[in-house]
Structure 1
């Protein structure tokens, strides 16, 4: 089986398994995920159990540390509890902002109330994550991030991540600063014992976090 065919099969299998997860299991997973991210906040200069604004690491001045995360949708583990935790700790939080057409970028998330649903023209249906009503920033805004949290359908022991196939995060991650850790979020059964297919443009992640805990890769 070719790498492309194997990736498609892995995606189908992952989505089929996710559809068996109950709402109660999703809610419990969301709460556990937020707890497991707390120790990783040390990587961006925020100590577990503290709140408020702190200086950014790596000589980035006196602005709050910045975390680039995402707003979940569909079968993904709900991210709102984690986003709320990040905001409560005084972090700057960036989330994807697709804008119009194929434009992609980031937006500052000032608070949870600013998130709103986005419907695709002609369908009246939400086909992308909620977005904040703030300025759309370009792809280079990811260079401000001190920690990057991305979704995954599977991750192997080498940090190879399986996404949904659009390659958006692989392109986005080219803008991160050197040494900034990337954390993939997935379900426990999506941590693969076997190697995933890897292509030249794939950017490995440094950590994987599931509702059962965090693991450095």
Structure 2
């Protein structure tokens, strides 16, 4: 995938604000401190386009990034951040659930987990939800530069076992060392190709 253009189309706080131009959408999902903004900046090859917050959990709306004027990356609010009120957590959860339940143009999801940690209960629930809704997804194991090769293999097995997914669904990724980019691009391309085949 060659990234030619990127723009932030809108930050949506309710369904009425979602883009309605019928372009396909790919959701980016993960915990508040998992590195979603860094992941997005890396795969679109832009510095600080998606703002990396010093405060996990700051993003409340859904950021719709228009890529190559042909599809969107929908950056969903991070979940699982403890240092916010219950009402704020409830609102974030509502924003995520509303989008995943109602988006007419969602064709796939990129689920981010921190490779250094066993997936949380929230991660398990999210993957189970994606499976139940039959939303195609891949797992991006972020911050892979923090581990050596042996540790990476051990962590990948723990992720696969905990989330009950096949190893081929997991991509090791590092924004710092810039590996896993080609694999992530290929996964996005596959979502788009499969969506086009279904529509045809």
Fold match, TM over 0.5? Answer: no
> With structure 1 as the length reference, what TM-score do the two structures score?
0.42
More helix by share: 2
> With structure 2 as the length reference, what TM-score do the two structures score?
0.45
Identify which of structures 1 and 2 has the higher relative contact order when contacts are C-alpha pairs closer than 8 Å and 6+ apart.
2
